[in-house]
Amino acid sequence: MRVRHKARVALLDHGHLVFLKRGRPGGDAYCTTVGGSVEPADADLEAALRREAMEEIGATIGPATEFLTLTEPRGTSTVVQHYFLADLLEMDLERRHGPEFDDPDTGDFEPVRVALNRPAVAALNLQPAELADYVLGHVEAWGV
């Protein structure tokens, strides 16, 4: 069975969390973390995370700490999602690049800043559900 790894990051930004708002035309919008597949050229998970943050939102990030790992069997492969928490150091949407931005079917792909509290996070439709549950259980501690 093939195993694919993905590196994803919840970003802390001065009392806020930064997620990605996603949605395709005709579908429901949702939020998720910045991140994606670990590529063969990536030295490790953190290198993939830094590359994805730059590609998706033009961001540089501080040190990253893994807080959740989800394993999803998908037929002939398994996807292992590694979720990290890191400080957002800088974001410039003009630096975004990658295949997502060349595909007209990508739909919404925008950063969203939300207050670092349970009601704000609960209102996001944060996906996947396991991530939302974890963040809701820890968001106040992240703000300390």
Predicted pLDDT at 12? 97
* Tens of pLDDT, residues 67-120: 999 999 988 999 999 999 999 999 999 998 776 666 666 666 789 999 999 999
pLDDT band for position 62 (cuts 50, 70, 90): very high
Structure pTM? 0.91
CATH code, domain with 103: 3.90.79.10
Percentage of the chain beyond pLDDT 90 is 78
Asked which of 13-17, 26-30, 80-84 is least confident by mean pLDDT, the reply is 26-30
- How many domains are contained in the chain? 1
Domain residue limits at 28: 2-142
Long-range Cβ contact pairs of 77-82 (< 8 A, separation 24 or more)? 77/1, 77/2, 77/3, 77/4, 78/1, 78/2, 78/3, 78/4, 79/3, 79/4, 79/5, 79/6, 80/3, 80/4, 80/5, 80/6, 81/6, 81/8, 81/128, 82/5, 82/6, 82/7, 82/8, 82/45
Checking if the pLDDT of 137 tops 90, the result is yes
